[in-house]
Amino acid sequence: MIHLLAEVDLRANRGDTVWHRSSAIAKLLLAVAVLGVAVFAPSLRVLLVAHLLGWILALSSRMPLRLLAALVSYPILFSGLFVVARWDGTWQTPALLLLRPVTASLLAAWLVGTTPYPDLFAPVARVLPRPAGDSLFLTYRALFALLQRADRLWRALRLRGGFAGPARRRLSHAGEGLGVLVVHSFERSRRIYETMHLRGHSGRVCGCRHYAEWTPADAFVLATGITFAAACVLVWRTP
Partner 1 sequence: MSHLHLPDGMLPPWLWASGLALALFVLWRSTRGMTPRQVAYQGALGGLMLAAMAIPLGALEYHLTLAGPMGVLLGAAGAFQVGFTVSAILAVMGHGGISTIGLNALITGAGAAGAALVYRSLGPRLRPEWAMAWSTAAGQALAGVLWFAIATVAIRSAPVAGAAVHDPAHATERFTLLALPLWVLGVIAESVVAWGLGRFLARVHPGLMPFGTGPAAPAPGEAA
Task: Give the nearest distance from C-beta 216 to partner 1 in angstroms.
Answer: 25
Q: Could you tell me how many residues of this chain bind partner 1 (CB under 8 A)?
A: 93
Q: Is 219 helix (H, G, I), strand (E, B) or coil?
A: helix
Task: Give the nearest distance from C-beta 1 to partner 1 in angstroms.
Answer: 6
Q: Is 174 in the site for partner 1 (CB under 8 A)?
A: yes
User: Of residues 77-106, which lie at the interface with partner 1 (CB under 8 A)?
Assistant: 77-79, 81-82, 84-89, 93, 96-97, 99-101, 103-106
Q: Is 55 in the site for partner 1 (CB under 8 A)?
A: no
Q: Is 180 in the site for partner 1 (CB under 8 A)?
A: yes
Tell me the DSSP string of 91-119. Answer: SHHHHHHHHHHHHHHHHHHHHHHHS-HHH
Query: What is the length of the chain?
Result: 239
Which of 136, 206, 221, 232 is close enough to bind partner 1 by CB under 8 A? 136
Residues 6+ apart with CB under 8 A from 182: none
Which of 24, 63, 112, 221 is close enough to bind partner 1 by CB under 8 A? 112
Q: Is 111 in the site for partner 1 (CB under 8 A)?
A: yes
Distance CA 14, CA 62 (A): 11
Q: Is 13 in the site for partner 1 (CB under 8 A)?
A: no
- DSSP H helices, the chain, are 2-14, 18-21, 24-40, 44-60, 65-85, 92-114, 117-127, 130-159, 167-198, 218-237
Q: Is 215 in the site for partner 1 (CB under 8 A)?
A: no
Q: Is 159 in the site for partner 1 (CB under 8 A)?
A: no
Which of 203, 216, 237, 239 is close enough to bind partner 1 by CB under 8 A? 203
Task: Give the nearest distance from C-beta 219 to partner 1 in angstroms.
Answer: 24
- Residue 198 has a CB neighbour count (10 Å cut-off) of 8
